[in-house]
Amino acid sequence: MTLHDLYLLSPELSLASLGMVVIILDMVLRRKGVLAAVSVVGLLAPLAFSISLWGDLSGEPDGQMVGIFNTLVVDKFSLFFKFLVMGIVALVVMSSVEYVSRLRQFQGEYYGLMLFSASGMMLLAATTDLISTYVALELTTLPLVALAAFLRDSRSTEAGIKFLLLSAMSSAVLLYGMTLTYGFTGTTQLVEIFERLGASLDATVPFGSHALFLGVIMIVAGFGFKIAAVPFQMWVPDVYEGAPTPITAYLSVASKAAGFAIILRVFYIGFGEISLDWAALFAVLSAVSMTVGNLVAIAQKNIKRMLAYSTIAHAGFLMVGVASIAARVPVGETTLGPSGVLFYLVAYAVTNLAAFFAIIAISNRTGSDMISSFAGMGRRAPFLAIILAFAIVSLLGIPPTAGFMGKLYMFSAAMKSDLAWLVVVGVVNSAISAYYYLKVIRVMYMVDPEGEEKIHVAYAPQAALYITALGILALGIFPGPLMTVAEKAVAVLFR
Amino acid sequence: MLPLDIAFWVMAAVGVATALAVVMEKDIFRAALFLVVSFLVVAGIFVLLNAEFLAMVQVLVYVGAISILIIFAIMLTRNAHEGNPFNSFQLPALVLSTMMLAAIAFVAVNTEWHDWDQLGLQVLPGDSGEVFSATEQGIKNVFGNTTQVIARLLMRDFVLPMEAASVVLLAAVIGALALVRENEGEA
Q: By CA distance, what is A117's nearest residue in B?
A: B171
More confident residue, B141 or A6: A6
Q: What is the pLDDT of residue B132?
A: 42
For residues A40-50, one letter each, b for 16 or more C-beta atoms within 10 angstroms of the residue's C-beta and e for the rest, the string is bebbebbbebb
Q: What is the pLDDT of residue B18?
A: 95
Concatenating the DSSP letter of every residue in A131-162 gives: HHHHHHHHHHHHHHHHHHTTT-SHHHHHHHHH
Concatenating the DSSP letter of every residue in A422-489 gives: HHHHHHHHHHHHHHHHHHHHHHHHHSPPS--------HHHHHHHHHHHHHHHHHHH--HHHHHHHHHH
User: Which of A138, A164, A193, A217 to substitute to test the interface with B, most B CBs within 10 Å?
Assistant: A138
Of the candidates A410, A417, A414, the residue with the CA atom closest to the CA atom of residue A340: A410
Helix (H, G, I), strand (E, B) or coil at B122: coil
Q: Are the C-beta atoms of A105 and B181 separated by less than 8 Å?
A: yes
Q: Are the C-beta atoms of A54 and A76 separated by less than 8 Å?
A: yes
Q: Are the C-beta atoms of A95 and A250 separated by less than 8 Å?
A: no
Q: What is the pLDDT of residue A306?
A: 94
Q: Are the C-beta atoms of A416 and A329 separated by less than 8 Å?
A: yes
Of the candidates A130, A493, A189, the residue with the CA atom closest to the CA atom of residue A341: A493
* Per-domain residue ranges of chain A: 3-494
Q: pLDDT tens for residues A380-423?
A: 888 999 999 999 999 999 988 999 999 999 999 998 888 899 99
Q: In chain B, which residues have their Cβ closer than 8 Å to the Cβ of A210?
A: 106-107, 110-111
Residue B138 has pLDDT above 90, yes or no: no
Instruction: Check B174 against A113: CB less than 8 A apart.
Output: yes
Cα A79 versus chain centre, distance: 15
Instruction: Check A152 against B167: CB less than 8 A apart.
Output: no
Instruction: Check A185 against B116: CB less than 8 A apart.
Output: yes
Residue from the list A69, A134, A184 with its beta carbon closest to the beta carbon of B113: A184
Instruction: Name the minimum distance, in Å, from the CA of A244 to any CA of chain B.
Output: 14
Residue from the list A109, A117, A202 with its beta carbon closest to the beta carbon of B178: A109
Q: What percentage of chain B carries pLDDT values higher than 70?
A: 75
pTM over the 0.90 mark:
yes
Residue from the list B104, B156, B168 with its beta carbon closest to the beta carbon of A135: B168
Q: What is the pLDDT of residue A314?
A: 95
Residues of B with CB under 8 A from a CB of A: 103-104, 106-108, 110-114, 116, 119-120, 156-161, 164-165, 167-168, 170-172, 174-179, 181, 183-184, 186-187
User: Which of B118, B167, B177, B183 to substitute to test the interface with A, most A CBs within 10 Å?
Assistant: B167
Query: CA dist A202 to A194, A209, A327, Å?
Result: 15, 6, 18
Q: What is the pLDDT of residue A356?
A: 95
Q: In chain B, which residues have their Cβ closer than 8 Å to the Cβ of A152?
A: 179, 183
Q: What is the pLDDT of residue B117?
A: 52
Residue from the list A116, A185, A202 with its beta carbon closest to the beta carbon of B112: A202
Q: pLDDT tens for residues B45-84?
A: 998 887 888 899 999 999 989 999 998 888 887 776 666 6
Q: What is the pLDDT of residue A76?
A: 94
Q: Are the C-beta atoms of A369 and A443 separated by less than 8 Å?
A: no
Q: What is the pLDDT of residue A80?
A: 96
**pLDDT band per the 50, 70, 90 thresholds, residue B122:** very low
Q: What is the pLDDT of residue B120?
A: 44
**pLDDT band per the 50, 70, 90 thresholds, residue B142:** low
Would you tell me how many other CB atoms lie within 10 Å of the CB of residue A2?
9
* Per-domain residue ranges of chain B: 1-81, 133-187
Classify domain B1-81 by CATH architecture: Up-down Bundle (1.20)
Residue B28 has pLDDT above 50, yes or no: yes
From CA A374, how far away is CA A443, in angstroms rounded?
6
More confident residue, A388 or B153: A388
Q: What is the pLDDT of residue A424?
A: 95
More confident residue, A259 or B93: A259
Profile chain A (495 residues) by mean pLDDT over runs of 10 residues.
89 96 91 89 96 90 86 94 96 90 83 96 94 95 94 90 94 95 88 85 83 93 92 91 94 94 94 88 94 93 93 95 77 77 96 94 87 88 92 92 94 88 94 92 87 82 93 94 92 83
Query: CA dist B28 to A292, B42, B73, B84, Å?
Result: 38, 21, 11, 6
Q: Are the C-beta atoms of A42 and A22 separated by less than 8 Å?
A: yes
**Which element (helix H / strand E) includes A67?**
strand A64-67
Q: In chain B, which residues have their Cβ closer than 8 Å to the Cβ of A68?
A: 159-160
